[in-house]
Structures are given as C-alpha cells and as structure tokens.
Amino acid sequence: MLSARLSRSYLPRAASSFRAPVVRSPLASSFRRHYADGGDDKVKGQVIGIDLGTTNSAVAVMEGKTPRIIENAEGTRTTPSVVGFTKEGERLVGIAAKRQAVVNPENTLFATKRLIGRKFSDAEVQRDIQQVPYKIVQHTNGDAWLEAQGQKYSPSQIGGFVLGKMKETAEAFLGKSIKNAVVTVPAYFNDSQRQATKDAGQISGLNVLRVVNEPTAAALAYGLEKENDRIIAVYDLGGGTFDISVLEIQKGVFEVKSTNGDTHLGGEDFDITLVRHLVQQFKKEQGIDLSNDRMAIQRIREAAEKAKIELSSSLQTDINLPFITADSSGPKHINTKMSRSQLEQLVDPLISRTVDPVRKALKDANLQAKEIQEVILVGGMTRMPKVTESVKSIFGREPAKSVNPDEAVAIGAAIQGAVLAGEVMDVLLLDVTPLSLGIETLGGVFTRLINRNTTIPTKKSQIFSTAADFQSAVEIK
C-alpha cells in the first residue's frame, strides 16, 4: 500500500532543550529575518484582533505599542455571540438579539461555534439538538446547519454575522474601513473547523490574515511587557471549549510546547447542567415537565447563567421565575435558592474533565506540573472558585491574576495583527499543530504524516502507491 520511499521537508523545532535560549534557534532566527523583511506579503492598513467566542466576542486594536479593547455601541467590552431573526425579516446581532431570545427562542441562534465545521452525524451535534431551542438540520453535504424563520444558515454564516458586528464596532471607533483581522480559534479545533472560521471571516468582509489559537493569543497578552524568561501554562475554559497550552517565553519569543483540550466543554455545559437540575426539581415539586416548553426553557437558561455568575462571588443566590407555566389550578412559579456548594456538586464532573487534557499536555511537553512557573486563567468559567481550586491542585500554585479572562484573547490577537503589519518587531510566535495530520489509506487506515504538537509551519511529503494496477485517480481524505 505504501511505497518504500519517504521524503521529509520541515523546519526544525525552535529549541532542543527547554532551557536553551530560544532566540538562538535556527527557526526563531529565520522567522525574525522573515518578519524583518515584511513576511510573505506586507500588510496594508490596520489589523484588528477578534476573539470569536462561543458565548461572547471581543475586538481589540493596537494603539501605538499598547493593545486596547474596543467598546461596542452599547458601551460594553464584550458582545454576545448571538444572532436573532425576527418575523419581520430583521436580523439582530449581539445584545439586541440576546434581549429578545425569551420571546423568540426558535429563531435566536447562540453557541453556534460548537457546530462550526462539524457533521450533522457527530455525537456532539446530536447531543446539542436535544439542548437548544432552535433547529439544527442536515445540509446536503452532511454538515450541521441551522434553521431560523424558514431559512437555513451554515454555522460559518452565523459566525460571519458576529464577526461583521465586531468589524462595525472597530470601524466606528477607528473612523475608517477595516479589512484585515486576526481571528482566534480554540487550540484543539481541527482543520475543517479552522477553515470554517476563515469562511466566517470572508462572509463578514474581512481578510483573515491568521487564525491564532486562543491560549497562544492569551499568552501574547500576558507576556508582551514581561522581561523574565519563563515557562507558563494557559488554562482556557470558555463558553464552549476547553484548551490547555504549555509555552516557553524567552526574549520576546513565544514557543508553544504542547496543547490539548476538549472542543465541547465550557460554560454552556455548566448552564445545561443547572437547567436540567431546575427542570427536574420543578417536575418533582409540581408534577409538570417543562422540557418541551421552549420559552420556559429559555427563561430558565438565562436564570441559570445569571445564578452561575452570581455564585462566583456569593455563597447563595435566589432563582425566581414567576409565571413559568400554568395548569388547571393556576399559574406556577419557580422560586428556589441555590448555594455555591450545590452548584459545585452539580458541575464537578465537568470540572474533572479538564484534568486529563492538562496531564496530557504536560506529558507531551516533557514537563512536570511543578516546573510550570506561571498559570494563566482565560475564559469566563475560570472565575468560578471551584475551577480555580482545581487548577491550584493540579499545578500546586495559585494561578496568576494579571490578565482579564474575557479580554486577553482579543488583545493577543491584536498584538499578532500588529506583528503581521510590521508595527511590532520584537515578538515572535511559534505555534504547534494540536492534532496529528494524515490521510486515509487502503482499508480505512489513518496514515499519520505530521505528529501533534509539531511546530508550524512545517512540511512533510510521503510517496504512496495506488491500491490497484493501472489506477488512474485517487480520492484524498
């Protein structure tokens, strides 16, 4: 099936030892020369950085040597990644879309980033179908699409609408048209998910110069002004995904050593767990099952998210939802108290799911937890005290509080944009491919060409023979 001849062509890793100065490596030196010459193509115009999040998105720009988050029209620094379609044919994005979700749950699309680049048959998609009020449908090519007001949309289109909103926010602040952007993705996204994110950028009218891994972007935000060399871990638990990356920072060079994660674990799952608990509790007390009442479920979902956030700073909160439903005896209400310990008990299995990827990332980096000198927390869910405790128990140290978990990724994207534009010359980012890459060969066998955690860019060639004599065509998967 495979020919005997094999050829490899790739750039060496940036350092053979963790303690060796990265700046002396051939790869780092070649990249520095490359950027000093302006890269492949000199970027014209300002470059914005966008964190396209599952729950919220943010946009940032460099002002001189300082990155800045741009507030939206409503004055907030993050924008809900929500798109709503009204019966009048209007499309709403962001806060306006989220506000009308309770009265229009079937046509308000949220957390669609979890569907981007996925097939309808994926187990995660089938699970999502049971947990969202809107329709997830199968496209002719087998991809998972969405339906609202009788129209079908790809997740890339919905992502494009959100990116378009971020583009408008940046243009309103800067007072000029913006074409170029760096967009972030979860580190553990596969190739089809990354390509679908680039497609979203095109739909919004943006030229996506680079797709950067979210933990790597956060590391840029953390390390831009740091002078000391160090080894750090970025623990990123956001709205829909979890990533862990181990990096070495030396003299402006950010080298990713390993990355791991779960593309279907985040704050949405915490919300779903709490919603399920409240629905079961209401059924037990009132004998009414609200599972199929989309408007009621949307109200409970919003109350669950609010309670989850409040319990990060309070020990107890009230969940009050009057007139949630009615029966022959009259209206029914949800009126209950939730303690932090109750919530922690409910979501403990979800927090535990982050431990194994962390251990794998450390193993791939040939490091022990005690060798990590700083742990950076990214993503809104890291504000939960139980999550912080879990991180502390893994690494044996208090996580750093020096970056804003909601804004660090967008800031890092803006820094990388400035690097590509030649505005920042003393920063070099060496990222890795999070998953092994290969092709399918005879018998449905996956033949690996590039191992996971290989520094990119990289190239490898391998010669394959045909499965049968005189074969004139092949299908590459």
Pairing mode, if any, of strands 230-237 and 374-378? parallel
Query: What's the gap between Cα 43 and its chain centre?
Result: 26
Amino acid at 32: R
Contact criterion met (CB below 8 Å) for 411 and 219: no
| Three-state DSSP class for residue 465 | coil
Catalytic residues: 51, 113, 214, 236
DSSP conformation class of 177: -
Contact criterion met (CB below 8 Å) for 145 and 158: no
Which two tokens mark 273? 């767990």
Which two tokens mark 457? 């860019």
Q: 385 vs 41, 92, 351, 393, CA distance in Å?
A: 45, 34, 11, 12
Triad 193, 136, 284: Cα angle to 5°: 120
Half-sphere exposure of 227 (CA within 13 A, CB side): 0
Contact criterion met (CB below 8 Å) for 197 and 52: yes
Looking up tokens 């947990």 gives: 131
Cα–Cα dist 220/229, whole Å: 13
| Three-state DSSP class for residue 434 | coil
